[in-house]
Amino acid sequence: MIRSNPSPAGAADPSGRVFVVTGAGSGLGLATTTALARRGAHVVLAVRDEAKGHRAAALVTAEQPDALLEVRRLDLADPHSVHAFATRLRTDGPHPDVLVNNAGVMAPPRTLTPHGHELQFAVNHLGHFALTAHLIDLLAQGRDPRVVTVTSANHRRARIDFDDLTGEHAYSPMGHYNQSKLANAVFALELHRRLNAAHSPVRSVLAHPGYAATGLPRAGAVGGVRLLFGHLLRPLAQSPAR
C-alpha cells in the first residue's frame, strides 16, 4: 500500500530505538533525523563529511536539547569505509533497530570511484547494498527492525544496462541517476522477498519522498539538471520536512 503524506503520529513509536540515517547532514536525511529526535529516537548520523554532520547535529540539538545523536563517518563510495562503519557499530554499538538508506548523488558529470564504479550507482545503490548486508544480523536483533530504502518515482523511467553499468559507452547524468533508483527499488523488493522467506523479523520498505527542495540537484549536478531541478522547478518542490 502506498500512502501520500503519511502522518508521523501514525508511524511506529521510535522512542528508545536506534536509527542509522545515511546522508543525515542535510536535506531529507536531516529532516528525518530531526523528526526522529523529536520523538525520542537515538540517531546515528552517517555522513561523509563529519564537520557537516556535527553542524547538522547542532541544528537538531538547538531545537531539541535532549536529542540522542551521534555523528560517524561513512563514505558509501568506499567499501572499506562501509566495512569500518559497520564494524564500529558491531563492536562499540549502538546496535541499530532501523537502517535508513537515504544518502544519494544526483546527475553529476561521469565520475568513477577508486574501485571503478560509476559514482551514482556506487553511492546510491552499491554502498547501501553493502551496508545493509553488514548490518542485517544486528537489525534482526532489534525492536521492530526494518531497512528503509529511499528511491524515486524516476525508477519507472529507467532500465539497468548490465553491459555498461559505468557509462563508458553512453553516459547520461539523469539516466544513470534513474538507473541507480531502479536498483534501489529492485534491491528493496528482493530483500523483502528473502526476509519473508527466511521468516526474519526485519522488514524491507521503500520510500519515495517526492520532489523536495533539497540541495541534491545543486550539489554536483550538471548544468541542465541543476538549472531545471535546482532553480526553475524549485518553487514546485515541497520542503524536506514535508
Q: What percent of the chain has pLDDT over 90?
A: 77
Record the pTM: 0.89
Residue 13, Cβ neighbours under 10 Å: how many?
11
Q: Pick the catalytic residue: 19, 177, 187, 229?
A: 177
Domains and CATH numbers, the chain: 14-236 (3.40.50.720)
Strand-pair category, 42-47 with 203-207: unpaired
Average pLDDT over residues 170-184: 95
Average pLDDT over residues 84-100: 97
211 is catalytic: no
CA-nearest of 45, 88, 97 to 67 is 45
pLDDT at 227 over 80: no
Q: Is the peptide bond before 94 cis (omega within 30 degrees of 0)?
A: yes
- pLDDT confidence band for 30 (50 / 70 / 90): very high
Distance in angstroms (rounded) separating the CA atoms of residues 126 and 139: 19
Which triple of cell numbers denotes residue 27? 536535506
pLDDT of residue 212: 73
pLDDT digits (tens, 9 = 90+) for 106-158: 999 999 999 999 999 999 999 999 999 999 999 999 999 999 999 998 888 88
Contact 131, 85 (CB under 8 A): yes
- pLDDT confidence band for 242 (50 / 70 / 90): confident
CA-nearest of 146, 130, 155 to 202 is 146
pLDDT of residue 224: 61
pLDDT of residue 1: 32
Which triple of cell numbers denotes residue 156? 519507472
Average pLDDT over residues 90-119: 96
pLDDT of residue 220: 65
Distance in angstroms (rounded) separating the CA atoms of residues 86 and 79: 11
Sheet strands (E) in 8-163: 18-22, 42-47, 68-73, 98-101, 146-150
pLDDT of residue 80: 98
How many helices and strands, by DSSP H and E, does the chain display? 8, 6
pLDDT of residue 137: 97
pLDDT of residue 231: 52
- pLDDT confidence band for 211 (50 / 70 / 90): confident
pLDDT at 225 over 50: yes
DSSP characters over 72-107: EE--TT-HHHHHHHHHHHHHH-PPPSEEEE-----S
DSSP class of residue 55?
H
Distance spanning both ends of the chain, measured CA to CA: 20
pLDDT digits (tens, 9 = 90+) for 44-83: 999 999 999 999 999 999 999 999 999 999 999 999 999 9
Question: What percent helix, strand, coil does the chain show, rounded to 5?
Answer: 45, 15, 40
pLDDT digits (tens, 9 = 90+) for 228-241: 555 556 666 678 78
Which triple of cell numbers denotes residue 4? 501520500
